Structure 1
Amino acid sequence: MTWTTTTDPDAFEAAAGAFLRARPVEHTMLLSVAATVRASGADTYGDQPPRYGWRHEGGEVDAAFLWTPPRPVLLSAMSARAAGALADTLTRERRPVPGVGGDHTAVDAFAATWLRHHGGTADTVERSRLHRLGTLVPPHPGPPGAARPATTADRALVLEWFAAFAADAGVAPPRDARTVDDRIAHGRVLLWEDAGRPVAMAAHTGADDGITRVAPVYTPPGLRGRGYAGAVTAALSRTARDTGAHEVLLFADLANPTANALYQRLGYESVRDRVVVEFSGADLAETGATSG
């Protein structure tokens, strides 16, 4: 019943890969982030290398995490007991965890243990719902225009819209252009054009093991409410399936009922909720030495 942590992605894959892929829909965040790091390098998300971990229970891996500083720790499906033990482990290792994301049970248990060691507060910064595509239902009638793959000529616009989406969502923007360039090169970014002008964008992570996640979907503020987001999401969803994805997933912000209703109209079905909390008000350097 111990946690093992490492910065070695191959060790993580060997130990926890089968566990994560046994429930790939629930573990889409960990799987897609791990795949991005393997493709783009250890510094994809920050100057510090990612940290990985897994826990054994009765000889089998029953929990895992992936952390790409300075972003929050990503938790797999796990029990409250496992999540609390992970907070203990990272405290003993003196890791300055900024936050944690996963299902409510695991996040609540991790946060309670973390605050007991370090004090401060845990503030909820994101509540989202995971959806999976059932039968695709494109909008009818759709808006004027059509979808097309983004090309390198669209690179500046796509980078701008990725950053704008991150600002709207309150999340960290891409660290650099690598992940965006990779998606453009592999046809994983679609633009909706109306009268020859791009008016909306949708992208997906790529069908790693047949699973892909739609992210982000973005329409500039002055062009919203015209059906562009639904149309480009439907086109991207069809493209993802046509190119080998047997599961197409997306997260929708629970604070945005319009987006949740839109995705349900397109044929996306609710799977489970996710929460992200951030820690503040404590100095790890002062509290970590006596924690454990």
Structure 2
Amino acid sequence: MDRDWRITGDLNQFLTHAGDFLRSRPALHTVTLTVTDSLRRRGLHIHGKGDPVFGVLERDGAVRAAFFRTPPGRLMLTPLTAEEATALAAQLADLGDELPGVMGERDTASAFAEAWARRTGSVLELHARQRLYRLGELTIPEPVPPGRPRVATTKDREQLMHWHAEFAEAVGEGGTRQDSGEWADARIAYGGVTFWETPDGTPVSMAGVTAKVAGQIRVAPVYTPADLRDRGYAGAVTAEVSRVARAAGAEEVLLFTDLANPTSNALYQRIGYRPVEDFAGYDFRSDPGPGPGPGPR
């Protein structure tokens, strides 16, 4: 295939070309929409010192697909055919890109990861299997645990930072996570985290939401410390932020779950979330073997 990808470090140029395409399917493109929105509002380096890279695939004057990467994070792809994924892997490898991994719709991520391995000799490791859900009819899980929801404010900054770091470690993102202070400040600015707190005012669980963009809001992250789980806190706070998101006019309320966690998947379905698409994430590492892998290094 010829190389139709337009690759740039200019966020405004990327959004000019890809914005309408991304907004045409806001659920499938939720991560790209929310991350680029936060980069636009808070600066290009909120996820790390490396310069972000963006790409747009155009065919016959129309945008077909897009990608972005905010180092040190993985490449994030919108859905591609296997042929398109293979061509992109070849183009990025020939440019000398050193990717830590890829994340995207399941078949897309798999096709790209396999093509990248063939091209670079990298060893693939399946990092995560996730399912994207969309809220249907909201159902409050019962019994509701004692306590109440409360939106986190500036006085909660240290708590938010601590739980954000714990959550990142728990899901295996400790080495690539956004700075916890930056994350807390950004969420506090728009009321983007809600606690469930006990009657004495002690926070026991949190649920975050992204800012609304293209009519969608995504619930992320949901976190309860290990010693406080199985008491209904996560379900209660997730239901609350879902209710508020819908009341704020979100046309779609979304969330991702880890498919390796049947408890959370069952919980969100009881609340009213319905499956949309499966996603996968792969990590790339150098082949420890004695000889070079196939393709250019």
Partners of 2:110 and 2:58 lie apart in 1 by: 21
Question: For 1:140-179, what aligned pairs fall within 5 Å after superposition?
Answer: 140-171=142-173, 172-179=176-183
What is the match of residue 82 of structure 1? 84
Question: 1:41 aligned to 2:43?
Answer: yes
Give the count of matched residue pairs. 289
Residue type of the alignment partner of 1:93: L
**Aligned partner of residue 109 in structure 2, secondary structure:** helix
Matched to 1:131, the amino acid is Y
Contact 2:30 2:218 in 1 (8 A): yes
Which residue, out of 187, 190, 202, partners 1:186? 190
1:213 is aligned with what amino acid? R
* Partner SS state of residue 208, structure 2: strand
Confirm or deny: 8 A CA contact 1:134 1:268 kept in the other structure.
yes
Mean CA deviation greater in 230-239 or 40-49: 40-49
**1:204–1:216: 8 Å Cα contact kept in structure 2?**
yes
User: What is aligned with 1:256?
Assistant: 261
With the length of structure 2 as denominator, give the TM-score of the two structures: 0.93
The aligned counterpart of 2:6 is 4
Unpaired runs of 5+ in structure 1? Answer: none
Q: 1:233 aligns with which of 231, 238, 242?
A: 238
8 Å Cα contact 1:118/1:282 also seen in 2: no
1:61 to 63, 70, 75: 63
TM-score where L is the length of structure 1: 0.95
Contact 1:102/1:276 (8 A) holds in 2: yes
- Detail structure 1 runs of 4+ shifted over 3 Å in the superposition: none
Q: Deviations over 1:143-171 (max 9, x none)?
A: 11110111111110011111111111111
- For 2:284, the equivalent position in structure 1 comes to 279
Query: Do residues 122 (structure 1) and 124 (structure 2) align?
Result: yes
Unmatched tracts of structure 2, length 5 or more = none
Deviation at 1:141, TM superposition (A): 2.1
Q: CA RMSD in A?
A: 1.8
Give the match's secondary structure for 1:34.
Answer: helix
Distance in 1, Cα, partners of 2:137 & 2:148:
21
How do 1:9-20 and structure 2 match up within 5 A? 9-20=11-22
- CA offset digits 1:162-200 (Å, max 9, x no partner): 111111111133224223212112111101111221111
Please name the residue that 1:205 is paired with.
210
Secondary structure of the structure 2 residue equivalent to 1:128: strand
**Pair 1:216-2:218 in alignment:** no
Task: Supply the distance in 2 between the matched residues of 1:175 and 1:148 (Cα, whole angstroms).
Answer: 23
Return the offset for 1:112.
1.9
CA deviation vs aligned residue, 1:187-234 (integer Å, no higher than 9, x gap): 111011112211110010111122111111011111100000000000
Identity %: 45
Q: Name the amino acid aligned to 2:62.
A: E
Matched, 1:131 2:136: no
